[in-house]
């Protein structure tokens, strides 16, 4: 496997293998044991957009496995401001590193980088396109909570038009037979081409603007932020800002095992009083970015994860 640009780069069997390896790597991600599987390897973090969780979890994942990280840093202090092209930068960083994690505001940039590079590329988000490493940590979180990915009822809520996390996740969930409910205002609905593609793959999809109606039947409620930075028109953003807000009281009709997820950062779409409920999983979800990306780094660097990892150090 050369790169991970979209979820189409992984079969269902490969997804399960990555999740199984992530499960084994949990003691390493938690710092309970040290397993330098990637010692001598260097990750290049190229983030052309602001990022906290994705960038830091990639860096943590690499360092927990004994590798090193070099960062692009602030784009404003890089050669991008001098007019350096993405192609030239990838050619340069390719010579410094063994693998590259990249986030870019332009949809398709990750595929372009992969076509330009000799080392593997991990897509950390390309505009409103794809975010497959986020999808892998989301799938890991769902499987931890429910013990399976098969046949769940999942509600995706908020910015489904520009939200690359929900674009990638919806494709993956359909492959495991999940029923999807898209909850959004009409102006932020899931793009028609994505819905058509999902239906071609047998998806069972419902669209609604009523969040309360989906809570009783959902196994997962996946909230998203209305992304102000994606709107070309500030007035359009103002019309939908704050349209959904999930509070603890709203969850009274929910199933006992239902989980609330969010790729973070949140603004006002999840009230802080949800944090202390049994349903909240978004901070655990953020931690799972480390273990999922550890597994992906090993896979793309062709490093085998031991079948058994001792919690007191090393492998058995």
C-alpha dihedral, 148 to 152 to 155 to 161, nearest 10°: 80
- Give the separation between CA 89 and CA 92, rounded to whole angstroms: 5
Task: Please tell me which residue in 6, 54, 97, 179 is annotated as part of the active site.
Answer: 54
Instruction: Decide the pairing of beta strands 259-261 and 220-223.
Output: parallel
**Residue showing tokens 């404003």:** 76
Helix (H), strand (E) at residue 289: helix 282-300
Residue tagged active-site, from 24, 41, 103, 167: 103
Q: Determine whether 54 is an active site residue.
A: yes
CB 225 within 8 A of CB 250: no
Which tokens hold the place of 64?
């927990």
Which residue in 64, 104, 130, 131 is the catalytic one?
Answer: 131
Q: Is 106 helix (H, G, I), strand (E, B) or coil?
A: coil
245 labelled catalytic: no
- Buried (b) or exposed (e) across 286-312, using 16+ Cβ within 10 A? bbbbbbbbbbbbbbbbeeebeeebeee
Q: Which helix (H) or strand (E) holds 197?
A: helix 192-200
Q: CA 97 → CA 40, 54, 90, 120, 191, distances in Å?
A: 10, 18, 10, 10, 36
Listed in sequence order, the residues at least 6 apart from 192 whose beta carbon sits closer than 8 Å to its beta carbon are none
Run of H or E residues at 47: strand 42-47
131 included as an active-site residue: yes
* 82 catalytically annotated: yes
Of 76, 77, 82, 201, the active-site residue reads 82
Q: Which of 15, 48, 50, 70 is nearest to 265 (CA)?
A: 50
Active site residue 103: yes
Please identify every residue annotated as catalytic: 53-54, 82, 103, 131
């Amino acid at each position: 496997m050369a790169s991970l640009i979209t979820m189409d780069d992984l079969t269902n069997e490969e997804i399960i293998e990555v999740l199984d390896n992530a499960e084994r790597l949990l003691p390493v991600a938690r710092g309970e044991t040290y397993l330098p599987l990637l010692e001598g390897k260097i990750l290049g973090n190229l983030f052309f957009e602001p990022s906290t969780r994705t960038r830091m979890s990639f860096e943590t994942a690499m360092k927990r496995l004994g590798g090193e990280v070099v960062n692009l840093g602030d784009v404003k202090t890089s050669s991008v401001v001098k007019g350096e092209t993405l192609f030239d930068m990838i050619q340069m960083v390719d010579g410094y590193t063994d693998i590259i994690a990249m986030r870019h505001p332009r949809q398709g940039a990750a595929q372009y980088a992969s076509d330009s590079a000799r080392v593997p590329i991990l897509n950390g988000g390309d505009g409103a396109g794809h975010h497959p490493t986020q999808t892998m940590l989301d799938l890991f979180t769902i499987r931890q909570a429910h013990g399976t990915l098969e046949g769940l009822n999942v509600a995706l809520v908020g910015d489904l038009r520009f939200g690359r996390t929900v674009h990638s996740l919806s494709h993956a969930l359909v492959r495991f037979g999940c029923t999807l409910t898209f909850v959004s205002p009409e102006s932020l609905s899931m793009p028609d081409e994505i819905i058509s593609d999902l239906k071609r793959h047998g998806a069972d999809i419902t669209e609604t603007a009523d969040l309360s109606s989906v809570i009783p039947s959902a196994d997962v409620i996946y909230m998203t932020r209305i992304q102000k930075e994606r709107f070309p028109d500030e007035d359009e953003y103002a019309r939908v800002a704050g349209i959904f807000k999930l509070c603890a009281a709203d969850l009274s009709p929910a199933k006992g095992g239902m989980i609330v997820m969010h790729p973070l950062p949140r603004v006002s779409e999840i009230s802080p009083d949800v944090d202390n409920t049994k349903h909240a999983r978004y901070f655990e979800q953020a931690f799972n970015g480390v273990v999922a990306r550890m597994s992906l780094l090993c896979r793309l660097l062709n490093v085998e994860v031991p079948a058994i990892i001792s919690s007191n150090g090393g492998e058995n």
